[in-house]
Amino acid sequence: MSRPDILQLGPYPDWDQTPLDAAFTMHRLDLAEDADTFLAEVGPRIRGIATKGDVGASRRIIAACPALEVIAVYGVGFDAVDIETCRARGIAVTNTPDVLTGDVADFAVAMTLALSRELVANDAWVRSGDWSRKGAPPLGRRVWGQRAGILGLGRIGEAVARRLAAFDMTIAYSARSPKATPSDWRYIPDPVALAEASDILILTLAVSGETRHIVDEKVLDALGPNGMLVNVARAAAVDEDALIRALAEGRLGGAALDVFEGEPDLDPRIPDLPNVLLQPHQASATMRTRKEMGQLMRDNLTAHFEGRPLLTPVP
């Protein structure tokens, strides 16, 4: 059987690229000199697309591939794929849930601790010699026993909540409907009310038209000058301009951000903000998890082309 033609949207590590090249005929859009010319040439042969988390399958790319059957997303979030077009054309979409849940939850907790206890600033304080010159750095903020709000209690949100409960934090959460949780977790579906009931609001929701900018000025003000926002979901869940203003004006206590509008290019105001911890979209970035994500993405492609059920189809 000839190897199916797959359009690849971004670079993968060798441990993914080698088996992809062995099983499929890969066409590297990310290496093309001119994307339109490349798509016009290979598009008609393409039966599958392999994405990167930050490079999705736009309407334009899908339209250039009339024989497209499947899009395999390298990540759990599939907001960068034009799902409407896929639905209309009967194109299957897969993602990589579960394998990254624990790492993303660990990272959300790490960001919560690092921001609250000023780990990055304290490290700089020691290295710069400020400790011996000026004495102890400014005091941090307590984490244990505080009120955690989980905006979007899916698999990742639940894993974050379980970890924070072990820090004796109280847990409140939002979701489309109440979930089967420990009895002391409170369901607060309204994002403003959830923020009011939280010292630390952690974003673990999927972004869609419905949840875009769900964290707006009102939510940020409800969180308040002592509140902290932690975002390991998607930048589009937050009105980034409102967030920048709230931080700059001291209306929000702090933010730990792993995702940004237009990343990897940042709004130039962000690095100058007080009380922010900035990470380059690293929540799932451990070697073990990335290998499992790559394997699951390939397994989905293989299953599709062998006519077997997909392992993790997007509903």
CB of 129 to ligand 8YV, least distance (A): 36
Closest CB to ligand 8YV among residues 8, 284: 284
Closest CB to ligand 8YV among residues 54, 130: 54
Closest CB to ligand 8YV among residues 121, 236: 236
**Catalytic, out of 27, 47, 234, 304:** 234
Residue 253 CB partners (closer than 8 Å, separation 6+) = 141, 223, 224, 225, 226, 227, 228, 275
Q: What is the DSSP letter of 91?
A: -
CB 228 within 8 A of CB 200: yes
**Catalytic, out of 281, 290, 298, 304:** 281
CB 13 within 8 A of CB 290: yes
The conformational region for residue 64 under phi > 0 = left, psi -120 to 50 = alpha, else beta, is alpha
Closest CB to ligand 8YV among residues 146, 284: 284
Which tokens sit at 119? 């780990």
Active site residue 263: yes
Binding site for ligand 8YV (CB under 6 A): 52-54, 74-77, 100, 281, 284
CB of 25 to ligand 8YV, least distance (A): 23
CB 125 within 8 A of CB 138: no
DSSP β-bridge partners for residue 34: none
Which tokens sit at 187? 């369901």
CB of 54 to ligand 8YV, least distance (A): 5
> What is the Cα–Cα distance from 98 to 304, expressed in whole angstroms?
20
Q: Is 256 helix (H, G, I), strand (E, B) or coil?
A: strand
Active site residue 234: yes
CB 253 within 8 A of CB 279: no
CB of 181 to ligand 8YV, least distance (A): 23
CB of 285 to ligand 8YV, least distance (A): 6
Closest CB to ligand 8YV among residues 43, 294: 294
Q: Which residues are catalytic?
A: 234, 263, 281
